[in-house]
Amino acid sequence: MSDADLYPRVPARLVLLSLAALWACYFIVASLRGAVMGFDLDWPILSRRLTICIVSMLIMAAVWPLLQLLDRKSGGVRFAIVLIGALPLSLALSIVNDVIFADIEVSAYGSEADAAAVKAGNVRISRDEAGNILVDLPKVPLPPAPPGPLSTGSGTGDETDAAGDAGARDDLPETPAAPREGTGSSAITINTGSALGQDLGRWAAIADTAFGRYFLVLAWVALYFALAKAEEARAAERREGEYRRAAEAAELRSLRYQVNPHFLFNTLNSLSALVMVGRQDDAEEMIQTLSTFYRRSLSGDPTNDLSLVDEIDMQRLYFAIEAVRFPNRLLTHIDIDEAVLDAKVPGMILQPLVENSVKYAVAATQRPVTIAIEARREGGQLVIAVHDDGPGERESGPRLKTEGCGIGLANVRDRLRARYGEAAKITFGSRPEGGFATILRMPLELGHA
């Protein structure tokens, strides 16, 4: 089993795609929000917002390896660490936003001092329904007007003061001055506040942005852990599949190993009978054939499939062994369609069926008995029939569950089920014309496919 199945990880490609999707959605929503509120979708704004999204995505991608360390932590530990760890990350994202938009704010307000004043809250900027920019200025207490120069003349005092004021205004240098109450001067002085106030206003704006980024970070972390859970579920499914295949292989191996001892037990009994009646040559021939049979049957993995032609060759060897016991009673007939010679079947799947025919048909009567093996294709299935023309009595009914020293039909049925599931089927019973037949149906799997 691979390490990926034991310790599943979210693929890097999926992590980057999730981040790209998150910030793409943020870019679209923020741009649409600005358009709805009446702000123009100018390229300087959009380009900087796009830059913020790209830089923020890279910063969050750099945090991904730290999230991997939490994959195998409990839910409570994850929750606590994420809630705390998201704070500095959201603050960093907010600072990125502030730095990238700093020059836009200065150019919009005319100078760094004006931008700082807006951030500090001394000036409030809004728009009216027509789209005009409205600037609300703070009320600044005005100092008392300095006394004007004395004037001599025949006019009244008011006239003298007014003339003196006019002369004084004409002589003053053209510098901005705080407007006095009751005058029509258009000069405006904006109180930008102290440096401390500007810094506090700037950090207040950064904190406000960080608040929004905080929940954005939490949303992505939740998405990441959901992806991690999905990877764990897929890994669990793969492990379950491997365990299931291993169990099926173990069951197949166990059922397959049941065949060889059963066959060997019967063959040794036959050899003993040959030796006892003095048929040493026949016994020697049986031993040689038996050796070839086992060399071929044990050479490969017992759970592997064989081609049908190889399986038929194995049965020919078995017929040769039993022909030594029943030289005049055992007749064979093999009819295999050429289209299925290369079809794959479980190894020695026919052995119990042929052995049953020898045991219950040939050995049970004194007349010649023909055992036939036929195979053909029906649609997408391989159909194999083993039948004989013997007495017709066979292990069936309760005997399938309480077989004596034989395994027969129950073994074949279990092996087909373990190998093909519900796709394979076995049917058996007495033939109307006499004898017994067993028919196997299984998916057709050609070796060259």
195-249 pLDDT, tens digit each = 666 667 778 888 888 888 898 899 888 888 888 888 888 888 888 877 777 666 6
408: tokens are: 């027969």
User: 47 Cβ partners below 8 Å, 6+ apart?
Assistant: none
Question: What are residue 431's DSSP bridge partners?
Answer: none
**Dihedral angle of Cα 267, 272, 274, 278, to the nearest 10 degrees:** 160
Answer for the pair 415, 442: CB distance below 8 angstroms, yes or no: no
d(Cα 268, Cα 59) in Å, to the nearest integer?
77
d(Cα 391, Cα 175) in Å, to the nearest integer?
130
Range with top average pLDDT, 94-108, 235-249, 357-371: 357-371
> What's the pTM value of the predicted model, to 2 decimals?
0.47
> pLDDT tens across 169-189, in order?
333 333 344 444 444 433 444
d(Cα 102, Cα 106) in Å, to the nearest integer?
6
CA 325 to mean position of chain CA atoms: 61
Residue by residue, what is the 3-state secondary structure of 125-162? EEECCCCCEEEECCCCCCCCCCCCCCCCCCCCHHHHHH
Answer for the pair 283, 275: CB distance below 8 angstroms, yes or no: yes
Q: Which ranges of 69-101 does DSSP label H, i.e. alpha helix? A: 75-100
d(Cα 418, Cα 247) in Å, to the nearest integer?
9
What is the separation, in whole angstroms, between the first and last Cα of the chain? 28
Kindly report which listed range (27-31, 54-58, 287-291, 315-319) carries the lowest average pLDDT score: 287-291
* Residue 277 phi, psi dihedral angles, 5° rounding: -95, 5
d(Cα 211, Cα 53) in Å, to the nearest integer?
16
